[in-house]
Amino acid sequence: MTALTARAPERTLGVLGGMGPAATAEFLRLLAADAPAVTDQQHPRLLLLSEPGIPDRTAAILSGDQEPARRVREGLRTLAGWGADLLAVPCNTAHVFLDGFAAASPVPVVDIVDATLDEAARLSPDGGWLAATTGTVLSGLYQRRAAARGYRLLLPDGGTQQAVHGAAERVKAGRAEEAGAAFREAVGGLWRRRRLPVVAACTELPLAYRSAGLPAELMVSSLAALSRACIAELYRSVPVRS
């Protein structure tokens, strides 16, 4: 992230992962890469609860099932009980449920939606394509947050949205090459309409985008945005030296 180094933060980051495991693993890699550290001892302390058993978030949104909300809340409480001072959930669709109770959390939660939109606005003030699970799109979570800040998000049509969601599912299934091919075709269709950056608002989609071999400068990764936001918050009050 920077050539500067810092002492380790005093606060501990709790990560509720497993939604899905590959995205969580990439998030942990990014945290290590983004930290302004050159020794083990300068990295932040992390607590990981990987809970892949949380029910499918899109299916729950479509059916009105609130079980994911209960399980996410339970997972965050567990991490706080373990000693986490800051929380992160590297799953955008989980934030549809988290949005209802994050403000009441006794431990602050770094919001992946705000972090992603912050980076999207910096990269492309003219707007971007929302690439997310069908559950996230139907919830309107990103659209509401973007509208509140005056940022324009374009939505894929029905068939393209299905292809985007399918690419995320293929990453979850460990079929990265197929995910990349599906996502490359979907993004190509979007860019034929308007060449704006893809806002990858599903944590599997940066992995699909990478497998697709598409230009890195035309993608906003929600995983990378969350990692950078967590590192900025953790090291905010830590003296940095050259």
pLDDT digits (tens, 9 = 90+) for 151-194: 999 999 999 999 999 999 999 999 999 999 999 999 999 999 99
Tally of CB atoms within 10 A around 149: 10
How many Å apart are CA 49 and CA 7, to the nearest integer? 25
Assessment of whether the complete model's pTM goes beyond 0.75: yes
**Cα gap 19→92, rounded to integer Å:** 9
Stretches in the chain below the pLDDT threshold 70? 1-6, 239-242
Q: What is the pLDDT of residue 3?
A: 47
Q: With beta carbons less than 8 A apart as the criterion, state whether 42 and 5 touch.
A: yes
29 near 63, Cβ under 8 Å? no
Q: What is the CA radius of gyration of the chain?
A: 17
Catalytic residue positions, numbered:
91, 202
